[in-house]
Amino acid sequence: MALRTAGGRFFYFQRNVLKGDRKALGFGQQKFNLHQLGQEFEPKAKHPTSGSADLCLITKTPLATVASHLKVCGVEIEEGPVERSGAVGSITSLYFRDPDHNLIEVSNYNQSTPEGSTKYN
């Protein structure tokens, strides 16, 4: 599928159906989770509304480094590290909120979290 921007450029995405009939849009290695109003799944936006965001961003930066940076910035980690499904494979993710309470997921591919490991809070 493709979307055309106001400037006339196109970008391509893939519609994904995940476990439990959850839906997401894949943009290369990035994944945007889609929540249907009234049928949201956890974790979700603090105040789910039409157009609320749940963004999954992939980084090669170790999640411990991301967590340390968030802590210095006064950002509370809501969940993680936890194993999840990414656009192209298994990921390990941290979740936090932006100032508008949108859910932001920062993830690494190919990083495992041993059972019993300490959370980055």
Distance CA 29, CA 57 (A): 8
In a domain, 42, yes or no: yes
Residue bearing the bigger pLDDT, 11 or 31? 31
In a domain, 30, yes or no: yes
pLDDT of residue 116: 43
In a domain, 60, yes or no: yes
In a domain, 51, yes or no: yes
In a domain, 119, yes or no: no
Overall domain count for the chain: 1
CA dihedral sign of residues 111, 93, 81, 66: positive
In a domain, 120, yes or no: no
In a domain, 8, yes or no: no
Active site residue 79: no
Residue 67: pLDDT over 90: yes
Residue range 17-46, pLDDT digits in tens: 888 888 887 877 778 888 777 888 888 888
Q: What CATH number is given to the structural domain containing 93?
A: 3.10.180.10
Q: For the chain, what is the mean pLDDT?
A: 78
In a domain, 116, yes or no: no
Residue in this structure with the two tokens 């949108």, named with its chain if needed: 102
Q: Which of 40, 76, 78, 105 is catalytic?
A: 105
Residue in this structure with the two tokens 């990414």, named with its chain if needed: 86
Domain range enclosing 70: 14-109
> Of how many residues is the chain composed?
121
Phi, psi dihedral angles at 62 (to 5 degrees): -55, 140
Task: Read off the tokens for 55.
Answer: 């963004």
pTM: 0.60
